[in-house]
Structure 1
Amino acid sequence: MSIARPHAEDLTPDSKRGRMEVQSTLSFSDEDKVRILQPHDNALVVNLKIGGYDVKRVLVDQGSGVKIMYQDLYKGLKLKPEDLTYYDSPLVGFDEKTVIPKGQIRLPVQVGSEVVEVDFIVVDAYSPYTAIVAKSWLHAIEAVSSTLHLKVKYLSGNQDEELIGS
């Protein structure tokens, strides 16, 4: 799996527009699987900096559009009810029970030097995760994730970076 993204040393002229086109590829190889016992069915769980704090057990959900923050993290970040904005759409949890959100909050999520503002829906429900980031977060940092390799790869400046799952 790979994705092409601009990279400074791969400049090629674009004669139609007089611009320089840039190419780089983020990819996964067998070397990326070395530390992982195969086969596996583990979720891609990472550590991220959310709201300026190091947060463990964040699920990277490639198939979801919903970004979730669970109550334990909300309390751990010392957030208050007045920090939330109204959110009135019920959610269905992993256990198929309907969950009424407490509200929504926008917080910066940082990986390396990349920072993206994320609108988390705050829920009071049990989860082995502290938060869930979705495909919109991956798209915002122009990242490629692989559950097979338990990694997220992205470019930061001119450097290929990776976020290793736990």
Structure 2
Amino acid sequence: MGQGVRWPRPPVEGQSWRNDSKKKCEFHHDIGYNMEDCYTLCREIRRLCEQGELSHLLPRGGKQQDKVSYAKPATPPTCTKIINAIIGGLDLSILTYSATKRRATETKGDRLETSCRVSHSNLPAVAFDEEDIHDSQEHHDALIITLSMANCTVRKVLVDTGSSVNLIMLKTIENMGFNEKDLQKKTIQLVGFSGEIANSLGEIVISTYAGGINKQVRYLVIDGPSTYNVILGRPWLNLM
């Protein structure tokens, strides 16, 4: 098919890390694996099939079949509520509720005056656009996302590749409409990064929707203060 195929670059001589000369991939002209196991070739064949280039090679079940049909992504579930994370202050905090309320009352007039003054200015809006989304610079920020879980939009979900379990806070499942009776009793001792130890209250399976895929995900439920509603670890990543 000539230039109709996206041919891979040939390997640089002497730089291949494979040493099994009994297996050879004719597509890459490389050794170490058979051509039938080449993922790049499989993706290229699929692309050509979708374009109708290989229709004469596809099986025909009594009628013309020029395209390969694939499973459609799952329909996003209906959202019935939104779960936010509200973290309370420490008991030892200098700012008590009474002091905060008193300060808010004292500065109410100042805020109103400032609001009126700013509303007539030409300050730029604080927002994110397409340039921010497609920023190619590498960063080491935590990946915090919003997911649809059991017909609830759950925010403050941390994707943690260093976690060996999926965690969900007791307060979160209560806000979602579950209670401790819905848990499968299973106590597991969890050890944090700094050595602190916490025991799980049990397990719960919750449907979790992301990127067109709906999975039944098993979570360990813990009770305690947390910055996040859910911590998704390697089990969820591998499942996806």
TM-score tier after normalising by the smaller chain length: 0.5 to 0.7
Identical aligned residues as a percent: 25
- How many residue pairs get aligned? The number is 129
C-alpha RMSD over aligned residues: 3.7
In structure 2, the partner of 1:121 is: 220
Shift of the alpha carbon at 1:60? 0.8
Greater RCO, CA 8 A, separation 6+: 1
| Correspondence for 2:157 | 58
Whole-angstrom CA distance in 1 between matches of 2:140 and 2:216: 30
Taking the TM superposition and a 5 Å limit, the aligned residue runs for 1:75-114 are: 75-94=174-193, 96-114=195-213
Aligned partner of 1:137 in structure 2 is 236
Instruction: Tell me the equivalent position of 1:68.
Output: 167
Deviation, 1:113, is 2.4
> Is 1:9–2:52 an aligned residue pair?
no
Distance 1:94 1:88, change over 3 A: same
Q: CA deviation at 1:94?
A: 4.7
Distance 1:39 1:117 in 2: 32
TM-score by length of 1: 0.62
Aligned in 2, Cα 1:109/1:84: closer, same or farther, shift over 3 Å? same
Larger strand percent: 1
Unmatched runs of 5 consecutive residues or more in structure 2? 1-38, 60-131
Cα displacement (A) at 1:41: 3.0
Indicate the structure (1 or 2) with the bigger Cα radius of gyration: 2
Change (3 A) 1:78 1:6: farther
Change (3 A) 1:41 1:124: same
Counterpart-to-counterpart distance in 2, 1:81 and 1:115? 24
Work out the CA distance in 2 between the residues paired with 1:132 and 1:60. Answer: 6
Structure 1: where are the runs of 5+ without partners? 19-30, 142-166
Q: Which has the higher helix share?
A: 2
Shift of 1:140: 2.1
